A = this chain, B = another copy of it.
Amino acid sequence: MSDTPHLTFDLDELGISKGHLVIPKGADCEALSLPVFSLNKGKGPRLLITGGCHGNELEGPIVARRLVDWLPEAQTCGRVIIVPVLNPPAVQAWSRNTPVDGLNLNRSFPGRADGSVTERIADAVSRLLLPTTDTVFDLHSFGPMWDFPPASTTHPIADADLMAKTVRMAEAFKFPMTLVWEYHDTPGMFDILVQNQGKVFICAELGGGTIGSEALSIYEAGVRNALIALGLVEGEAEYPIFRQKKSSQTLETLSSDELKSPARGIFEPRCSMLDNVRQGDLIGTLHPMDSLSADSIDIRAPRTSTVCAIRSGAHVDANQTVALLARPLKL
């Protein structure tokens, strides 16, 4: 076995290829074989779709797997590469981070060939898949502890042209929400690496909570809309029905829009995602656990905004994020 990362097939071959991206073994674990699908119809957009970066966000792998089934009938030009599961050890452990080395794959780019397994995965993707692509859709979700609508997201990008192009691409998913998310924990993120190469990167955040069949249909429809917008697939893009509505809004959330828990206790959500709230409206209540004589603490909206994410009822520590607020994006 080669000790450099490699693909088991030639990406330039025309037609359908199914094979693996091999991550060499290291001191911490054996070699990994990540299943890869490629459909090369020659000239046209070059797209990479990835899922399963975080092991407890399984919407991406399922939607990616559905694409593998119908893309051969639908794709008319260009090349689409699909890696349904970027991080198999994390998926098997239903863990956000890789259990072997404890690293977050989405903080490990561009990776290191001689690093631990998470860094070796990042290195293989950066060196073997990224150069062959102009656009990346990375399929995440908010995971089981949040209520969050199906959304396409990007962080703010310094290059104004790339920013505008990225927001247009994000809106093409026609998800209920397109979100520009100011987020400071960025070193090693996949999107930063791709955007620094001048390419479009969309992080699809495919909702939160449990993964059910209705939600999966919405996610699949959104990705299909984006493929149509790219010109890879023919058809009519359509807003998926979400909570009995067909609609979409483009919002932004700043780091100052994070609402934190005022104390340790049980967080009770008092509003729902996509609710419009006014200053003073109730977002949630924090119940101290030590005594029933202690007052519960109300957490209120500091300003008029849209709730874009709200935490599931859960035990939280003081200063833990319990909601994200947002406002209409002004570019």
Contact = CB atoms under 8 A, between A and B. Distances in A.
A85 interface: yes
Contacts of A314: 58, 94, 211
A313 B84 contact: no
A210 B65 CA distance: 25
B210 A144 contact: yes
Which among A91, A213, A272 has the highest number of chain B CB atoms within 10 Å? A213
B145 A292 contact: no
Contacts of A210: 144-147, 208-210, 312-313
A150 to B, nearest CB: 14
Interface in A276-299: 287, 289-293, 296
A18 interface: yes
A292 B37 contact: yes
Contacts of A91: 266, 289, 315
Given A58-B266, A144-B145, A292-B35, A287 B213 contact: no
A68 B292 contact: yes
8 contacts: A18-B292, A36-B292, A62-B268, A65-B296, A88-B289, A94-B315, A210-B313, A214-B272
Interface of A: 18, 20, 33, 35-37, 55, 58-59, 61-62, 65, 68, 84-85, 88, 91-92, 94, 144-147, 208-214, 216, 266, 268-272, 287, 289-293, 296, 310, 312-315
